[in-house]
Amino acid sequence: QVQLVESGGGLVKPGGSLRLSCAASGFTFSDYYMSWIRQAPGKGLEWVSYISSSSSYTNYADSVKGRFTISRDNAKNSLYLQMNSLRVEDTAVYYCTREPDGSGTSMDVWGQGTTVTVSS
Amino acid sequence: QSVLTQPPSVSAAPGQKVTISCSGSSSNIGNNYVSWYQQLPGTAPKLLIHDTNKRPSGVLDRFSGSKSGTSATLGITGLQTGDEADYYCGTWDSSLSAVVFGGGTKLTVL
């Protein structure tokens, strides 16, 4: 079945780096835009970044621009998020999501999430 | 502060109907499709409504979506205790060039 599985979360000190991965299965990964969405503890959803199906287009929330980099490997059916210069406020569950039409108006498949904790 | 505004909480009795509002502007809801997500406790969000009023396969017709101007509404009929969850609206904001969400609404079925 259609599935997204995130990995790579963990505890990191402020200023540190972490690389999240998302393994996709059950659909033609290379046909879809993909996004990362995060949710801080007890808070709402916050969009982080998206990437087009061929990696031609990427976009980032202002809160992570210049620190995070989204990428994908269509041959490996995988999505990535390189997070540098991490801050305490980046602490959140990070979800990998699929965008059905690339319009940014909906995410139809969500992973289970991976937890990132930034603390000294 | 979220770009889209939702009430923090709503409540209703089992079997009743409830609506959840989502207010935005012309740069987001006013000119783009709206989606709604259900997040049950301890789980990932699930797409409930897309393209403002369309249900993905498997979503019951007790859930409906609508839009008027710069506001969108999620309706849930025949409330069940299993519907207790956080509900989020989302869309694209053309001015911000970003995906935006509401702050979420906690539904309590009394």
Note the pLDDT tens digit of each residue in A21-78.
Answer: 999 999 999 999 999 999 999 999 999 999 999 999 999 999 999 999 999 999 999 9
Is pLDDT above 90 for B47? yes
B91 touches chain A (CB under 8 A): yes
CA A54 to chain centre: 16
Q: Do B50 and A106 touch (CB under 8 A)?
A: yes
Write out pLDDT tens, residues B55-78: 999 999 999 999 999 999 999 999
Structural contact between residues B65 and B74, judged by C-beta atoms closer than 8 angstroms: yes
- How far is the C-alpha of A23 from the C-alpha of A103, rounded, in Å? 22
Averaged over B90-103, what is the pLDDT?
95
What value does the mean pLDDT take over residues A95-106?
90
Select from A61, A105, A39 the least CA-distant residue to B65: A105
d(CA A8, CA A80): 10
Contact B104, B48 (CB under 8 A): no
Which residue in this structure is represented by tokens 């259609």?
Answer: A2
| Best to test chain A binding among B38, B86, B99, B101 (most A CBs inside 10 Å) | B99
What is the arithmetic mean of pLDDT over B41-57? 96
Mean pLDDT of chain A: 96
Q: Please name the amino acid found at residue A6.
A: E
Residue type, B83: D
Compute the distance between CA of residue A83 and CA of residue A36 in angstroms, rounded to an integer. Answer: 12
Distances (CA, A) of B88 to A45, A120, B24, B106: 8, 32, 13, 9
Chain A contact for B103, CB < 8 A?
A: yes
> What's the pLDDT band for A102 if we cut at 50, 70, 90?
confident
Q: What residues of A are in contact with residue B103 (Cβ under 8 Å)?
A: 44
User: The tokens of A103 are what?
Assistant: 């319009």
Q: Which pLDDT value is given to residue B1?
A: 84
The average pLDDT across B84-90 equals 98
Q: From residue A77, how far is each of A24, A72, A97, A110 by CA, in Å?
A: 5, 8, 13, 15
Q: Is B32's Cβ below 8 Å from some Cβ in A?
A: yes
In this complex, which of A35, A106, A112 lies closest to B35 when CB atoms are compared?
Answer: A106
